[in-house]
Amino acid sequence: MANSDKPRGFRPYGDIIRVVPYTAGAAVYPGDAVHLEDDGKVDPAVASEALLGVAASYAAADGDEVLVWDSPDQKFIVQSDNGTTLAQTAVGLNYNIVDTAGDSTYKQSRQELDSDSGATTPSTLPLRLIDFDREQGNAAGEFAECIVQINNHQLGRNTVGL
């Protein structure tokens, strides 16, 4: 059976290591991958941007508080998009995000893993595919639920400062 196309951003996988309050610089939806900007605020991340973590709460506008899962060791589940069909051989490659705007009705992220972007390039792609979620009804392929870790984490060692 084919995987369903239901993008809903990133969700923690396994134990939640920590969640920290930050100030939003724009609207941020739960499940959005976020980037810490040079003004000290977090915004939804765009493709190829270093990541701080994933929003755990909703922030309607600039100045609102948003909770962020920001541990470099946190793993997440995210749906792959409808580009390249992912196979088991994709595990270990690095990927970009599809930075689709959040759903303003349901207040939920719609970001996905960009399945066309898989590469061994270590520093320019923000996500590393760790595995596929073993939940019943999920399989490698289009719209797969993927377990990822942030590859270029802003709180990680040897990363560029703001």
- pLDDT the model gives residue 1: 56
- Tell me the three state secondary structure of residue 148: strand
Q: Half-sphere exposure of 151 toward its Cβ, with a 13 Å CA cutoff? A: 24
Encoding tokens for residue 69? 């899962």
* Cα-based distances in Å from 151 to 10, 67, 124: 14, 21, 9
C-alpha closest to that of 77 among 110, 47, 112: 112
Sequential pLDDT tens for the chain (162 residues): 576 767 789 999 999 999 999 999 999 999 999 999 999 999 999 988 999 999 999 999 999 999 999 999 999 999 988 867 777 888 889 999 998 899 999 999 999 999 888 888 767 899 999 998 877 667 666 677 899 999 999 998 655 554
Structural domains in the chain, sorted by start: 11-150 (2.40.300)
- pLDDT the model gives residue 162: 47
Q: For residues 160 and 157, give the distance between their C-alpha atoms in angstroms, rounded to a whole number.
A: 9
Q: Where are the beta strands (DSSP E) in 7-159?
A: 11-13, 20-23, 33-36, 42-44, 53-55, 65-69, 75-79, 94-98, 112-119, 127-132, 145-150
C-alpha closest to that of 151 among 105, 116, 113, 111: 113
Alpha-carbon torsion angle 154, 159, 161, 162, nearest 10 = -40
Task: Say how far residue 91 (Cα) sits from the centre of its chain.
Answer: 16
- pLDDT the model gives residue 139: 66
- pLDDT the model gives residue 5: 66
- pLDDT the model gives residue 66: 99
